[in-house]
Structures are given as structure tokens and as C-alpha cells.
Amino acid sequence: MVKPLEVCILAAGKGTRMKSSQPKVLQTLAGKPLLGHILDTAELLQPKRIHVVVGPEGTELQDAFADRDHINWVVQSDRLGTGHAVMQAAPFFSGDGPVLILLGDAPLIRTATLSEMLITEADLLVLTVKLDDPTGYGRIQRNKKGQVNAIVEEKDADAATREIQEINSGVMLCGAGLIEPWLGQLDNKNQQQEYLLTDIIKIAATQDYKVETLMANDEAEVTGVNDFVQLAKLERSFQQSQAETFMADGVHIIDPARFDVRGEVSFGRDVRVDINVLFEGNVVIGDAVQIGPNCIIKDSRIGNGTVIKANSVIDGAVVSQNCSVGPFARLRPGSYMQNAAAVGNFVEMKKSTLGPGSKASHLSYLGDSQIGENVNIGAGTITCNYDGVNKWQTKIGDGVFVGSNTALVAPVSLAEGVTIAAGSTITTDVPADHLAVGRGRQRNIPDWQRPEKESETNPDKKSG
């Protein structure tokens, strides 16, 4: 019978080097807090319980993850080291299963790596990695037989120990019921004057417990974040990995160094993504979609064959098959483009439906609108949906032609086949197949003399 796993995540660090009022583990990578990445990974292991050790200001973390009511939040009132942090959580361990220790500021640990750790028969398993430059990390010390007998922190290491390239990742798995006795034997007789969790390796080895290591395949997987330089490097490592995964699945990404996913995105076949495209939230991209440079797509679905041109922003929208968006278009939440619809440069939609084959090619605002099939929206057209207090809807039937520079003052309805003369302000409903002209009466004034600058007609007066 497999004994139930418990996970303990250390998240009490201040992040002093970030010079931020926000807790370090709430800084974001790929649009998600560092701690959120770790929690997602830990939950995939289906542990019996997850304990998160936070500092005295941990209320902000608890509020950020209020939807995860299964977490046991443990407060470390005094930051006296990693061993002391686990001591605070230890009274909550059930003692009948292994305990997996994770770090809240090392967000890219893979579930596959942790699953491999769980099959060990060791009493204590430490995840390690080899670094070309191990400066700042605790070194894995081994005896002549190659067995681990200690982890030595750099401040406590001599010159020979500092030459060791295998370092401690901070991730370890302790056998059932063993960690609490080991924690009870820790002391703070070191340069840091802290209770260091790494000292349990020496304690376990001295007592002839089976101590082993597992080496991570990827340095980024165990890299922690202490400042924004490290965070940026880890962000790019993560995005590069994402891009390579998508490209292996057939997505044509023009430059993976300028590709960002901050959420979940799925791609169909034969998709092409140009530079500086950002995907946020939950995004679904269909087959044969072409996405131009500098676009943002958030919480949206894009249908097969659609072309999204440069510098377009799509947020909370549904774009059906064979549509055209942009350049410089903005689809706000609630926008729905049906098959073969098109919006062009500097067109904004909000909470509106653009019917099949309909188009708004230039400089228009469509808000709170229901627009039918094969409608033409002329340049400069706006739906005046807001009266200063309430929002009102505009309804446009099939085959309507709206001339340029038209203002449709909602609530208003245009029936099928209506034509709106350019430059009109429409304030009442228009019946089917009518021409609506809503202009002020034009006056032509003969011999009009344009005004001139005073400095040109009065040499004594200076301009500016």
C-alpha cells in the first residue's frame, strides 16, 4: 500500500533583493505568481495535504490563493532558517507518509521529476543539479564511496568544498515519520546562525539512514528567484521551452525568442505566429490561423482560417472561421465575429455581434450592437451606446449599408436593406429598404474669406 504524500512548501522569504513591497512568491512568471506554479505542480501529485510556510505578513499570500481552501497555511513568525520553517509545519504532519519539501521561489520544477523522486526507496532523497558556476549554493559533499554525507552551505565551506559543482536544489523527500526527529537535532551553530534544513542530511547519514540524490536534467527546473534579473532569465527560459513544445507540435513560430504565453493556449494545425505575440488567459486557436506581429490575444477563441493582422488586441472575444481582424483593431469582451466577418484598422468592438460576411473596415466603434449578415459599416461610424448613465443597444438588420461618418444613437434599430446616408445622425428606427438621411441643412456662403493670422495682416503685432 502506497503511503499518502504530504507536501511542505517554503514561502516565507522576504525577497529583499527585489526591493518590492510585494512578497517574493507573489511576483509573476508567465502571468502567474511563483507560488501558483508550485501549487499547481504539487496538486498534480495528489498529496494528502499541502502545507505552505509563510512569513508574519503571510495574509497577503492567503488572500491571493483564497480559492485553494485545502492549503494549510503555517506562519513562521521569526525567520530563523529553512529548518526552522519546516519545524513550524512539522506538528501538522500526519507522520504516516513521506514529506516532500519544495521551495516557493523555484517555480519550474516538473511533475515528472517529482514523480521520479516518489519512487525512491531511500530514507532521504535530495534533488541536485550540476552547475558550471555553483557560487552561492550549498554543495553536495560525498564520502570516498560516493555516498552523500552532508550539504555544506557556501558560507560554511572551505576552498576545496567550493570547487564542488553538484549543488543542493532545496527539494527533498523525507521518509515517513523521520523528518521530525531529525529536525529536533538541528542547531544554529553556523555562519548564518540559522537552523538549516540541509543539516538533516549529515544527521541522517551519521545515523546510517539511506541518503540518496536524484540529479535534475535541466538547471532552470530548480533555479530559484532572488531578484528581477533572475526572474527575467527564468521567464525567458520558460517561454523558450513553451515555444519549442508548440513548434514540435507543428506551430510555425517565427521567432521563439519573441513569443509569450501567460496562461493556457491550444493551437490547431498550420498556425503561423509572428513576432511579439502575447497569449493571456485561456486561448484556443483553430487551424490555419495567421497571427501578425505585436498582437495580444486574451481569453478568446479564434476560428479556422482567420487572419489577425498586426497590432490587434483581442480580449474576451469569439472570432469565427475565415474572419479578418486588423491591423490595429481592438475586440473587447463580449465581441463575437461570425464567419467571414471583418474589422479593419482602428475599429473597436465591445459586447457586439458582427454577422456573417459583415465588415467594418475603418475607424469605427461598435458597442452593444447586434449586426446582421452582409452589413457594411462605413468609416467613422459609431454606435452611441451610452447616455451618461445607461448603456443602450443598436440593432442592424441583414444587408444594411451604413455610410461613412454616421452616428447611430441607441436605442435604435435599422431593418433589413436600409441605407444610411453618409454624415447622418440617426436617432429613430428605420424601416426596411429605406434610405435614412439625418443631416443638418447645408448652407453655401459665397465669397467666403478665410481668416488669416493677425501677424500677416498687422506687421506691428508679433505672433506667439
* Residues carrying an active site annotation: 362
Of residues 388, 364, 377, 372, the one with CA closest to residue 419: 377
**In whole angstroms, what is the distance from residue 260 CA to residue 58 CA?**
30
Cβ distance 157 to 136 under 8 Å?
Answer: no
Please count the other Cβ atoms lying within 10 Å of the Cβ belonging to residue 227. 15
Cβ distance 170 to 101 under 8 Å?
Answer: yes
Cβ distance 399 to 417 under 8 Å?
Answer: yes
Q: What angle do CA 436, 388, 328 make, to 5 degrees?
A: 70
- Phi then psi for residue 85, to 5 deg, are -60, -45
Q: How far is CA 331 from CA 71, 197, 309, in A?
A: 38, 51, 13
With residue 65 as reference, give the H or E element that holds it.
none
Kindly calculate the radius of gyration of the chain based on its CA atoms and give it in whole angstroms: 32
In this structure, the strands spanning 359-362 and 296-298 are unpaired
Spell out the alpha helix ranges (H) of 45-110: 59-64, 82-89
Cell numbers standing for residue 19: 526591493
Of residues 267, 307, 273, 301, the one with CA closest to residue 287: 267
DSSP string, 112-144: HHHHHHHT---SEEEEEEE-S--TTS-EEEE-T
Tabulate helix, strand, coil % of the chain (nearest 5): 20, 30, 50
Spell out the alpha helix ranges (H) of 169-317: 179-183, 199-206, 228-248
Q: 309: helix, coil or strand?
A: coil
- Phi then psi for residue 367, to 5 deg, are -120, 135
What is the C-alpha end-to-end distance of the chain, expressed in Å?
Answer: 89
- Phi then psi for residue 24, to 5 deg, are -55, -45
